[in-house]
Amino acid sequence: MTLRTGLCFWIVALLAGAHSAVATPMPFQRESPLQRYSWHLKDGKPFQVGIESDNYLSLINDGYDAFLLRVHLIRNAEFSIDIQTFILANDECGQFLTQELIQAARRGVKVRMLVDHFMSSRDRKWVAYLASVHPNFELRYYRPPTGQIDPSKIALLVHSIVFFQQTNQRMHNKIMIVDDAIAVTGGRNIDNHYYNNSLTYNFVDLDALVLGPIIGPMESSFDEFWRYRRSIPAEDLGDVSSIIRRRVDLDSEEFMPVSPYFERINRDADDPAEIQKRFVDTLAPVQRLRFLADKPGKNSLIGFWGGGKATRQLQRAIRRSEEELLMQSPYLILNGSGRRHFRKMRRQHPEMEITVSTNSFAATDNTLAYSANYKLRNAYIEMIDMNIFEYMPHPRELPDYLPNHVELADAARAAGFENEPFLCIHAKTFVVDNEIGYVGSYNIDPRSRNLNTEVGLLIEDPSVVAQLRNIILGRTRPENSWVIARKELALSEVNFLVEGLFGLSPVDLWPIRSTSSFELIPGKEAVHTDHPDFYMNYKDVGSFPGAEPGSVKQLTTSLYKMFNTLAIPIL
């Protein structure tokens, strides 16, 4: 059997749920796109166009499915698993997934895991356990400061001051590649919040399952980061190696989570019919697929405006927009350069619709980042004419994206939480003129533009782009989002001018915002913010709907808005 023939059989068996090498593919109820791709390989026909064609893709829009897919792929890997993630949390999902990876390593699979240090768990004992659990399991950290997994606050502060730009340059990539043949990429990290398993907030996110020649450049990017001089083996970190050298008892039972959530995952991950329905049947060929990736280290210029390869490629795609640009991002922070680019697009195409779906104050997981959006959105509305929709924490679509909400709410109350779990946008998705789609890790903020390394897929396929468009527009519906619009103010033009001047100053003390959040009045028709009936059909619900007036979070946001001018380049 040739390598290519064996690979085709393996791909079918992998997604069908086989646990060992097989002589023939597992039978399906009908011929799937995955099978057609496999027969293409089996027959030895060369690719006709190259890495941008002959690829298959499925969008993973559900948190449970996203976790199930990862578990299933790990269990069925045969020789390699490569994972890149911005966050590795020592919570239930983090522990469960790492245990699955350890089991894969023990059966002979080579596991490489590259984790950014900044927001990942700093539990020395857990990291020491992972670093020493098996020779086939390798763990590295991107840019750990002072050579420690858990440096002291003083050491971290000194390092951040002395090496300010290096400290802020992070690896935001999210990639999982199995056996050099199939991959998952998008916005999800390894943390309860991404997989419908958090008692506080749960992310609405998006991944793409891909297979085909596109895996080549994805693997090359991973290898480049893996070899980067700032990617440090976990066992070489001072406080981790100390635990390993002292032969501290690292009990695996300490890191074995138990939850009804995992009982269902265990059942579904080994059920070929479930895998067929959720993932195989949804795979479809894409006309053109390109992988965007920054280089490790990103820009090395002095300052915070150098950009990177992924930034430039994504900007070129966005600038092709002439009629409609849809963007979804958890954060909406455009620095001066970003605003100038969008104003130029607006001048060139005055009738173009620019629509942004992002988080509201009540739904955000990052108050500091939201404060920058709150500060700048007057410019977005007045100078760029954006249509901005801010996602509600408990939208009408909540049961669709968090079907276990009741169970999580009961568990939250039992744990002493005052509020019910809510939804928060984390997807990073763009659609350009119904022709180009993007799914990846890139946020609309200066960090993604200039500091964090990012990855993603540019997709040119009518069917997939239509799916992305429907996802974004669905979240902008009145029952799911508040719309941002101009307030009905006397002397509104004067207020806009004064607000803009204060916004340029280091301390923004102007209290009157020119924009506010609006909610559709029951029984009224949804209309555009420029429609003559807008103010009759919508009511002004203030700057912070969905939150208690005078809350600590609200006061904090207002304070951040006053003093965050200098911080915007690194938000």
Residue of 256 and 141 predicted with greater confidence = 141
* Integer CA distances (angstroms), 268 to 92, 278, 310, 318, 481, in order: 18, 10, 36, 39, 33
Contact by Cβ (8 Å): 333, 446: yes
Report the alpha-carbon distance of residue 329 to residue 136 in Å, rounded: 37
In contact, 447 and 570? CB cutoff 8 Å: yes
* Residue whose C-alpha is closest to residue 412's, from 231, 202, 98: 202
Tokens of 129: 């356990």
Which of 221, 184, 232 lies closest to 205, judged by CA?
184
Assess contact for 203 and 428: CB atoms under 8 A: no
Q: State the Cα–Cα distance between residues 335 and 504, nearest whole angstrom.
A: 11
- Using the predicted structure, report yes or no on whether residue 360 has a pLDDT greater than 80: yes
Q: Which residue has the tokens 């890139």?
A: 442
Q: Phi and psi of 203, rounded to 5°?
A: -80, 135
Backbone angles phi, psi at 137, to 5 degrees: -110, 110
State the pLDDT at residue 51: 66
Cβ pair 76, 14 in contact under 8 A: yes
Confidence at 550, pLDDT banded by 50, 70, 90: confident
* pLDDT of 42: 34
Give the residue among 206, 200, 163, 177 at the shortest CA–CA distance from 73.
177
Neighbouring-strand partners of residue 225: none
Q: What is the mean pLDDT of the chain?
A: 87
Question: Is a pLDDT exceeding 70 seen at residue 27?
Answer: no
Bridge partners of 233, per DSSP, are: 140
**Quick one: residue 528, left, alpha or beta (phi over 0 = left, psi -120 to 50 = alpha)?**
beta
Q: How confident is the model at residue 301 (pLDDT cuts 50, 70, 90)?
A: low
Phi-psi region of 143 (alpha: psi -120 to 50; beta: other; left: phi over 0): left
What pLDDT is stored for residue 173 in this prediction?
A: 98
Lowest model confidence (mean pLDDT) among 48-52, 144-148, 274-278, 336-340: 48-52
The pLDDT of residue 20 is 36
- Please name the amino acid found at residue 256: M
Q: Give the position of tokens 């053109």.
A: 288
Q: Do the strands 175-178 and 137-142 form a parallel or antiparallel pair, or are they unpaired?
A: unpaired
Q: Please give the Cα distance from 571 to 569 (Å, whole number).
A: 6
Residues present in the chain in total: 571
User: Locate tokens 């399906």: which residue?
Assistant: 28
Predicted pLDDT at 461: 97
At residue 481 the predicted structure's pLDDT band, cuts being 50, 70 and 90, is very high
For residues 94 and 329, give the distance between their C-alpha atoms in angstroms, rounded to a whole number.
24
The tens digit of pLDDT for each residue in 370-422 reads 988 988 998 999 899 999 999 999 999 999 999 999 999 999 999 999 899 99
pLDDT digits (tens, 9 = 90+) for 283-292: 999 999 999 9
Is 60 exceeded by the pLDDT of residue 18? no
Calculate the alpha carbon distances from 235 to 145, 156, 424 in Å: 15, 20, 35
Q: Kindly report the backbone phi and psi dihedral angles of residue 494, in degrees, each rounded to the nearest multiple of 5, phi listed first.
A: -65, -45
Residue with tokens 């069925």: 76
Q: What's the predicted TM-score (pTM) here?
A: 0.91
Tell me what pLDDT residue 15 has: 59
Confidence of residue 505 (pLDDT cuts 50, 70, 90): confident
pLDDT one-digit tens code per residue, 220-241: 999 999 999 999 999 999 999 9
**C-alpha 85: how far from chain center:** 10
10 or 180: which carries more pLDDT confidence? Answer: 180
Q: Among 88-102, 462-476, 498-512, whose mean pLDDT is lowest?
A: 498-512
Answer yes or no: is pLDDT of 569 > 50: yes
288: number of CA atoms within 13 Å, CB side? 6
- Burial code (b: 16+ CB inside 10 Å, e: under 16) for 191-214 equals bbbbbbbbbbbbbbbbbbbbbbeb
CB distance 233 to 456 below 8 Å? no
Tell me the per-residue pLDDT of 106-153, one tens digit each, with 9 for 90 and over.
Answer: 999 999 999 999 999 999 999 999 999 999 999 999 999 989 999 988
Predicted confidence (pLDDT) at residue 182 exceeds the cutoff of 50? yes
DSSP label at residue 569: G
Range from 11-20, 115-124, 543-552 carrying the lowest mean pLDDT: 11-20
Angstrom distances, CA of residue 330 to CA of 206, 357, 473: 12, 8, 15
Lowest model confidence (mean pLDDT) among 106-115, 151-160, 433-442:
151-160
pLDDT at 343 over 50: yes
Least confident of 13-22, 273-282, 518-527: 13-22
Beta strands 455-460 and 436-440, pairing class: antiparallel
